Structure 1
């Protein structure tokens, strides 16, 4: 009689209780140092800064609580008011121009043009630089005696004038120029990824119905990119509020305090002027500004998922 062979799977090796415990606890043990460092160095220092903002700390922490006095001083400080006004100008223009340029560049690259990879790399390259490098480079470019104005004068156009860097009324706009140059490529990458994720059948159906390409982008594609708009606004707002290195390298807050921003105000009062309590209060106000943008966004996202 023929002998039949059946392939029976080998029995799984039984694990010991110790091995079962290790499988449960090993990931937690590996992640625990990172969690502890994050809790201490991020959330712990945020709480510590909040406590300092209610004290009269100067060069060193002093835990003599004075209530809301530091916040009252902050709101009555002319330099802080100027810094907040500059932030509204800088942040508003920075976000709006970056969104406009980013969307247009993404639509341009979405047309399946030749050498798309090379062009995309050129647009993204400024984001690889630090804001210190960007600020230093644009400081040379915008310097009336060394940069653009001097170059145009050498070409024979001696009436040309571009002295925004040393003009107290225009200095804040030089920050916008440098920041937009660096961040527009990143916004383009966000929108290009969003465009590539849209179902092409929707576009084909609109084309069959006779819709023009500008109409398709305006009425169909851009509304589908609403989450990308929200994400880009959140990221750009965060960059604008915490801008310190760009201001330091490009204008140092000058002339005078005409291009000062809250981050530079916080640093100077905390570490150079011996007003740590006031600097901590300004840091908490900056955190509140970020939360005022982030919390409604997170709420809308969570609410949308819950309704879905």
Structure 2
């Protein structure tokens, strides 16, 4: 995982610096685009708060516990999965549901640190019923527990949640800052990052360089388009087999779609290609089960028809 750190997030940095010296409010709300460092900044801040020295020293018992499996070993840190959070069963709530949190964790004092931290990395996915159950706790939280919510935007959270927390905004990283942080000099590759570090691992990989060549080849002759389709499908198998890869197949497909848009933007049929790519991306985000191959097939059919059959 790569983070811009707080160097390029001046407002967020000043807010968190203030709370390093003053009592942390019951709820901090980190919002901003993907890949701008929200999660990394939240984890760093939490480690500092749990650290015996207050500096994320890395050597005290709290830091050592926190550094195991992303903090999951620390008894006073609860990180919910980055997925939909249900309210849970009323009698026997499952782990990482809101009722499980309220009934089996919050009533008790922290085990080791002065305060417990609860992190929701996808707070916009807390369902309505669960959110309602949380509101009273957020309004009158136990003194020993602090919450951090992460979301893509302020608009994705309800006003009743926002009114109970302190907003910590994150923004896209400037192009020059991306260049300085990553060492990437190619302006087209910097454009691909889109002001964040979300696709950095993919763009620094050998697979990305091969993908760029394959896309350029596909736009020059019909056989190249067929070879590109085979290459994109083969990458799914390779990605599943090679666990050590720093990027996911979804990152690969995102880079593939962005390359298509970038490489075709001056073509007479750019508008039709843009429509096909956005249709593919929409299908990819909503794809269930085995639907992704269908969306890929439709995209390549549209590309072939648009590029090579348009009169």
TM-score, shorter chain, exceeding 0.5:
no
The TM-score normalised by the length of structure 1 is 0.22
Structure with greater proportional strand content = 2
Which structure's CA Rg is the greater one? 1
The TM-score normalised by the length of structure 2 is 0.22
Q: Which has the higher contact order (CA 8 A, sep 6+)?
A: 1
